[in-house]
Amino acid sequence: MKKKELAVAALKNGIVIDHIPCASLFKVVDLLGLEHLDKSVTIGFNLDSERLGKKGIIKIADVELPKEVLNRIAVIAPRAVINIISDYEVVDKHEVTLPDELHDIVRCNNPKCISNNEPMSTRFHVVHRDPLVLRCHYCERKVDHNEITLK
């Protein structure tokens, strides 16, 4: 694969998450727990993008994250692109894919749901992908894409 210039300074080894909507950028940081990481993390905000107008980008050095962890961000950044960098080369590049079930990512909006009243994980089923509609595994209520709140 050819060496490819990315919008921010080059990364030797690690992961670049590109095409994140600006509104979701810091939620993605949260979701991946990057503030607890001891690796160098570069966050780009309000960068010009042909696809999104403005976009966010996250570069994480010297780290490998499992696919299922990276796919979690599809809930809030469905078109985000993952670039795996090795020795300055993009060795893998793919869009995130939303899993069929979301474990402990989204909070249920129903105050009468058991998941908001017990110390427990949440669980949602993806009932529709575009636009995103989720169903709580417990109270069975549906959540539309514009109502999704992260845990």
Tokens of 121: 């994980």
From 3-11, 54-62, 87-95, 134-142, give the range in contact with another protein by CB under 8 A: 134-142
Interaction between residue 139 and another protein (CB under 8 A): yes
List 11, 17, 76, 113, residue binding Zn ion (CB under 5 A): 113
Interaction between residue 113 and another protein (CB under 8 A): yes
Which residues contact residue 117 at a Cβ distance below 8 angstroms, ignoring those fewer than 6 apart? Answer: none
Interaction between residue 127 and another protein (CB under 8 A): no
Interaction between residue 92 and another protein (CB under 8 A): no
User: Residue 93 or 151: which CB sits closer to another protein?
Assistant: 151
From 17-25, 32-40, 55-63, 136-144, give the range in contact with another protein by CB under 8 A: 136-144
- In the complex, least distance from residue 109 CB atom to another protein, rounded to whole angstroms: 12
From 1-9, 61-69, 108-116, 124-132, give the range in contact with another protein by CB under 8 A: 108-116
Tokens of 51: 């696809």
Q: Given CA atoms 72, 67, 48, 31 in this order, what sign does their dihedral have?
A: positive
- Region at 126 (left for phi over 0; alpha for psi -120 to 50; beta for the rest): beta
Q: 124-133 contacts: CB < 8 A, separation 24 or more?
A: 125/100, 125/101, 126/98, 126/99, 126/100, 126/101, 126/102, 129/98, 130/78, 132/75, 132/78, 132/98
Interaction between residue 110 and another protein (CB under 8 A): yes
Instruction: Give the footprint of another protein on residues 6-65 (CB under 8 A).
Output: none
Whether 101 and 138 have beta carbons less than 8 Å apart is answered as: no
Residues that bind Zn ion (CB under 5 A): 108, 110, 113, 136, 138-139
